[in-house]
């Protein structure tokens, strides 16, 4: 019996048209040395989509990532949709996400993403002087201008997008600058990601941030958001805390107690357990040779996943264990010599954040419950057809889409 899972696909492997200094996946460029140019073939694509869509899933979730997945070109993404239409059963829900630097987004590409409702995540670290410190072209030039051009094209096509902000040494001391820059430009969906990268000797690299810096950054962003924007701006981490408080749903993998959450599929069909652990020793199988059920039951996969709940003894008595679950394995294994009981390098930051925000998160959770009760009461007398569609404005007046607000 197959448990629900999603796919994170790297159709161009680690190939990228940029050379961001802090990119963890660029180090994988030599992972498949048989060729310099890595591109998923139509055969691997079709096999992956066909076999995945033959498994029972509430929604078929594809995340297209890299490297830079748009190097595959628009025709590849047309074939993606073609395969999904060919192999999907009637009524099967399909969700596509694309994580991109946006520099190769053409008007036609943006129109395709809009037409098929891809949710595009664009990497943008703030205003030019912060973004251009590490997000560089191969010639060493900043990429900010090209990223903003890609975003404009997404906007002109009415494509849905959110902004992925890597919080590094460059911008960690400027939470208000980053937050206001995004909001002032109308970018209201944010995902903040901590940059913590060790070298091969487990020494933290200089563009990484410390736990206290991460905690301070999150607390300041929370204060700004809470003061004025809870109904206007969506921040992935904050939404996930609320989803846990309101619905008891753990919708980001670090909040889970097991890391058997999804599969990474590399350009040649090789399958791995996690984006941060694409390593030869963790190769679970290949989509052209192994069934999803076999791979899900693989000892490599299950033993990898079980490490999540083997945490440091400090976690046992931590008041935030119910949500933090010892933190992401990346922040434990990479600096802990492969021992999941190593304390997360971000532990003090998470503690600072939860202590500072949880009373207000609990208040907000109660507001969401009240909104839902009011909405349910108001919508019942109006009968069938009164419930908004997922993309309609939320009737609670937040200005957000229903699926991002009370319909969550």
Does residue 321 bind ligand SF4 (CB under 6 A)? yes
Contact predicate 83/114, CB 8 Å: no
Active site residue 275: yes
- Smallest distance from the beta carbon of 354 to ligand SF4, in angstroms? 7
Contact predicate 298/285, CB 8 Å: yes
Candidates 19, 148, 283, 314; binder of ligand SF4 (CB under 6 A) is 314
Candidates 9, 18, 159, 274; binder of ligand SF4 (CB under 6 A) is 274
Q: Name every residue whose Cβ is closer than 8 Å to that of residue 150 and which is 6 or more positions away in sequence.
A: 100, 101, 102, 103, 104, 105, 122
Contact predicate 150/156, CB 8 Å: no
Crossing angle of helices 107-115 and 74-87, rounded to 10°: 20
Smaller CB separation from ligand SF4, 181 or 214? 214
Residue with tokens 């906007």: 155
Candidates 315, 334, 394, 406; binder of ligand SF4 (CB under 6 A) is 315
Does residue 63 bind ligand SF4 (CB under 6 A)? no
Q: Which of helix, strand or coil describes residue 266?
A: coil
Interaction mask 220-259, ligand SF4, x per CB under 6 A: ---------------------------------xx----x
- Smallest distance from the beta carbon of 25 to ligand SF4, in angstroms? 13
Stretch that binds ligand SF4, among 40-48, 343-351, 366-374, 399-407 (CB under 6 A): 343-351
Does residue 26 bind ligand SF4 (CB under 6 A)? no
Q: Is residue 270 within a helix (H) or strand (E), and if so which, with residue range? A: strand 270-272
Does residue 395 bind ligand SF4 (CB under 6 A)? no
Q: Name every residue whose Cβ is closer than 8 Å to that of residue 336 and which is 6 or more positions away in sequence.
A: 202, 342, 343
Stretch that binds ligand SF4, among 59-67, 78-86, 122-130, 306-314 (CB under 6 A): 306-314
Does residue 7 bind ligand SF4 (CB under 6 A)? no
- Smallest distance from the beta carbon of 380 to ligand SF4, in angstroms? 39
Smaller CB separation from ligand SF4, 26 or 253? 253
- Smallest distance from the beta carbon of 66 to ligand SF4, in angstroms? 16
**Euclidean distance between CA atoms 174 and 6, whole angstroms:** 34
Does residue 330 bind ligand SF4 (CB under 6 A)? yes
DSSP characters over 315-331: HHT-TTHHHHTT--THH
Catalytic residue among 223, 239, 275, 290: 275
154-159's contacts with Cβ under 8 Å and 24+ in sequence apart are: 154/102, 154/105, 154/110, 154/113, 154/114, 154/120, 154/122, 156/107, 156/110, 157/107, 157/110, 157/111, 157/113, 157/114, 158/114, 159/110, 159/111, 159/113, 159/114, 159/118, 159/120
Structure tokens at 387: 């419930």
Site residues for ligand SF4, 100-159, by CB under 6 A, read none
Does residue 324 bind ligand SF4 (CB under 6 A)? yes
Candidates 261, 268, 296, 298; binder of ligand SF4 (CB under 6 A) is 261
Smaller CB separation from ligand SF4, 57 or 288? 57
Closest Cα partner for 150 from 90, 206, 99? 99
| Catalytically annotated residues | 275
Which residues of the chain form contacts with ligand SF4 (CB under 6 A)? Answer: 253-254, 259, 261, 274, 276, 308, 311, 314-315, 318, 320-321, 324, 326-330, 344, 347, 350-351
């Amino acid at each position: 019996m197959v448990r629900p899972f999603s796919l994170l696909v790297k159709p161009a492997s680690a190939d990228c048209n940029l050379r961001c200094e802090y990119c963890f996946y660029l180090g994988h460029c030599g992972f498949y040395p048989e060729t310099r140019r890595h591109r998923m073939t139509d055969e691997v694509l079709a096999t992956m989509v066909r076999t995945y869509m033959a498994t029972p899933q509430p929604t078929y979730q594809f995340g297209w990532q890299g490297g830079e997945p748009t190097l595959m070109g628009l025709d590849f993404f047309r074939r993606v949709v073609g395969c999904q239409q060919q192999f999907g059963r009637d009524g099967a829900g399909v969700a596509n996400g694309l994580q991109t630097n946006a520099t190769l987004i053409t008007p036609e590409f943006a129109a395709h993403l809009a037409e098929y409702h891809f949710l595009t995540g664009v990497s943008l670290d703030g205003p030019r002087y912060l973004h251009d410190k590490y997000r560089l072209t191969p010639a060493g030039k900043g990429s900010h201008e090209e990223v903003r051009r890609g975003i404009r094209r997404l906007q002109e096509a009415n494509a849905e997008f959110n902004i992925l902000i890597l919080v590094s040494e460059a911008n960690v001391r400027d939470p208000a600058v980053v937050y206001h820059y995004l909001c002032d430009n109308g970018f209201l969906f944010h995902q903040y990601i901590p940059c913590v990268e060790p070298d091969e000797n487990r020494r933290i690299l200089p563009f990484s941030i410390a736990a206290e810096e991460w905690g301070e950054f999150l607390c300041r962003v929370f204060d700004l958001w809470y003061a004025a924007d809870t109904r206007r701006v969506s921040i992935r981490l904050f939404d996930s805390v609320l989803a846990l408080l309101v619905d008891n749903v753990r919708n980001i993998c670090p909040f889970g107690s097991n890391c058997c959450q999804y599969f990474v599929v590399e350009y040649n069909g090789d399958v791995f357990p996690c984006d941060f652990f694409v390593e030869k020793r963790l190769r679970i199988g290949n989509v052209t040779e192994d069934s999803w059920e076999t791979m899900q039951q693989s000892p490599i996969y299950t033993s990898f996943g079980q490490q999540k709940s083997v945490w440091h003894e400090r976690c046992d008595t931590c008041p935030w264990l119910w949500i933090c679950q010892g933190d992401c394995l990346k922040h434990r294994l990479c600096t802990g010599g492969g021992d999941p009981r190593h304390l997360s390098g971000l532990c003090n930051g998470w503690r600072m954040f939860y202590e500072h925000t949880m009373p207000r998160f609990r208040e907000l959770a109660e507001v969401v419950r009240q909104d839902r009760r009011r909405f349910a009461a108001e919508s019942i007398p109006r009968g069938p057809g009164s419930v908004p569609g997922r993309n309609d404005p939320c009737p609670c007046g937040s200005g957000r889409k229903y699926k991002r607000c009370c319909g969550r």
